[in-house]
């Protein structure tokens, strides 16, 4: 029986848990919710306690508390820490679901940056986790239209989460059959949280809220 862990927050991490738990010969062994969990999304802790009571919950929020080699599959779904090499190297398959196009929108707040940049195309990407920031080979992706003239960050975020759930449902059961595709480093752009002050009126869920800050 293959043991799996899910790290992250909110409804996307809950969906990852649900998808993993339904996979043949796989048990949802460990869940590490972000600490603290956001109040604006569903509680991953609450959902795991209710739906998968035998699953181990690590409330520290720290990936280091997951013993290297314990789980064969690790899924990051909006996890808020950079996972280190000790876990990466000891895990058969370790993947991340990133709410942005890669390699153009690596790093923090890809939805905000896409709208700030006036993009008309956004995406969600599932990729292998490596030592970089969202730089690992791509396993699956979906792209969709956005309209920066009318869309708020909240609109595109909600749309991204819907697409992300479908993408995880497609990719996770097929991991053993997918050949990862390397990212094009020539197109790579990484955004950091320290750059958020450059987002202007796209720094918050809505432009009105950003203007009041």
Structure tokens of 9?
A: 């927050």
Sequence-ordered alpha helix ranges (H) in the chain: 10-21, 44-51, 85-88, 110-116, 153-171, 207-212
Query: Over 80: is that where the pLDDT of 201 sits?
Result: yes
Q: What is the pLDDT of residues 130-175, one digit of tens each?
A: 999 999 999 999 999 999 999 999 999 999 999 999 999 999 999 9
Is the CB of residue 150 less than 8 Å from the CB of residue 206?
Answer: no
Least Cα distance to 30 among 47, 48, 12, 43 occurs for 48
pLDDT band (50, 70, 90) for residue 211: low
pLDDT the model gives residue 207: 97
Q: What is the pLDDT of residues 48-102, one digit of tens each?
A: 999 999 999 999 999 999 999 999 999 999 999 999 999 999 999 999 999 999 9
Is the CB of residue 38 less than 8 Å from the CB of residue 13?
Answer: no
What are φ and ψ of residue 131, in 5° steps?
-75, -10
pLDDT the model gives residue 104: 98
pLDDT the model gives residue 210: 80
Top pLDDT among 212 and 2 is at 2
């Amino acid at each position: 029986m293959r043991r799996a862990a899910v790290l992250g927050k909110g409804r996307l991490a809950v969906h990852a848990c649900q998808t993993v738990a339904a996979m043949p010969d796989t048990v949802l062994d460990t869940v590490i919710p972000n600490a603290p969990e956001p109040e604006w999304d569903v509680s991953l802790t609450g959902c795991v306690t209710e739906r998968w009571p035998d699953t181990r919950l690590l409330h520290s929020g720290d990936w280091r508390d997951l013993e290297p080699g314990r789980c064969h599959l690790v899924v990051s779904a909006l996890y808020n820490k950079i996972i280190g090499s000790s876990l990466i190297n000891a895990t058969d398959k370790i993947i991340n679901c990133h709410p942005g196009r890669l390699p153009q929108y690596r790093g923090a707040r890809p939805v905000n940056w896409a709208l700030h940049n006036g993009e008309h195309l956004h995406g969600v990407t599932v990729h292998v986790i490596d030592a970089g920031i969202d730089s690992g080979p791509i396993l699956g992706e979906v792209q969709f239209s956005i309209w920066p003239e009318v869309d708020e960050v909240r609109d595109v975020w909600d749309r991204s989460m819907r697409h992300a759930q479908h993408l995880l449902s497609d990719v996770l059961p097929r991991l053993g059959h997918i050949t990862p595709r390397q990212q094009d480093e020539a197109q790579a752009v990484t955004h950091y949280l320290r750059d958020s002050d450059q987002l202007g009126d796209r720094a918050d869920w809505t432009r009105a809220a950003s203007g009041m800050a």
